[in-house]
Amino acid sequence: MAQKSNVAVIGLGRFGSSIARSLYNIGHDVLAIDMDESKVHDIMGQVTHSVAGDGTNEGVLRELGVEDYDAAVVAIGSDLVASVMACVILKTIGITNVVARAHDETHGNALERLGVNRIVHVETEMGNRVAHSLFTPEVEQYVGLTNDFGVNVIRVPIEWVEKPLKEIGFSGPRGKQSAVLALKRGKDVFLSPDTDDHLKSGDVIVVAGKDDQLRETLKNDLSDK
């Protein structure tokens, strides 16, 4: 890990508790806050500190020393007022890196105006990812860059094993339609693999490209090649 940071996570629903646990597992110091004592109890031992309290109360946050934290995550989704209040206070007390979950577009716009550094549209982002992998199960992760272009993490299907990348239809890093950015084999990662490289079973590749082009490539029948 590059650097250990202090992060406060406010709101321990499924989203907030998952972020808090992941941050702690990566090695950060995590203070998890929720109004609901049962949520605080559930996460005990999986983060550095967990405290029952109102994340929209400046006094509570100051008492917990949150103003000295490197970052804060506001994971309250459905209570727009509480989410906005928590963000205003965090920005006011000087947290430079505030990440907040937006319930919808209006909520996201409000958070943007408050200077929230990263706004996460959980439902939209997850919906987008699932939609892109529904008919292409090889695509394990998808990040859209535009409406029709994205970065895909693909578990190599059996038909591609022992085939060179160029035969499958991939070009190098300067390709116009799609390019393989990285190849993961076991614990090794190779950046910009050569298009003559043959794939092996269990390989994972990261491909940037046009969505329809990738769908075509995944549908290609390579059995006669």
Binding site for ligand ATP (CB under 6 A): 10-16, 33-36, 39, 54-56, 76-79, 82
Relative to beta strand 204-210, strand 149-155 is antiparallel
Nearer to ligand ATP among residue 13 and residue 175 (C-beta): 13
Q: Three-state SS for 191?
A: strand
CB of 128 to ligand ATP, least distance (A): 17
CB of 96 to ligand ATP, least distance (A): 21
- b/e per residue 131-167 (b: at least 16 CB within 10 A): ebbeebebbeebeeeeeebbebbbebeeebeebebeb
Nearer to ligand ATP among residue 10 and residue 116 (C-beta): 10
Nearer to ligand ATP among residue 110 and residue 182 (C-beta): 110
Encoded tokens for 175: 């390709």
Encoded tokens for 197: 């490289």
CB of 44 to ligand ATP, least distance (A): 15
Nearer to ligand ATP among residue 49 and residue 210 (C-beta): 49
CB of 140 to ligand ATP, least distance (A): 23
Contact call for residues 130 and 137 (beta carbons, < 8 A): no
Residue whose CB is nearest to ligand ATP in the complex, by number = 13
CB of 84 to ligand ATP, least distance (A): 11
CB of 11 to ligand ATP, least distance (A): 3
Rg (CA), the chain: 22
Nearer to ligand ATP among residue 44 and residue 191 (C-beta): 44
Nearest-angstrom CA–CA distance, 177 and 214:
9
Strand ordering across the sheet containing 178-185:
139-146, 149-155, 204-210, 178-185, 188-191
Nearer to ligand ATP among residue 76 and residue 95 (C-beta): 76
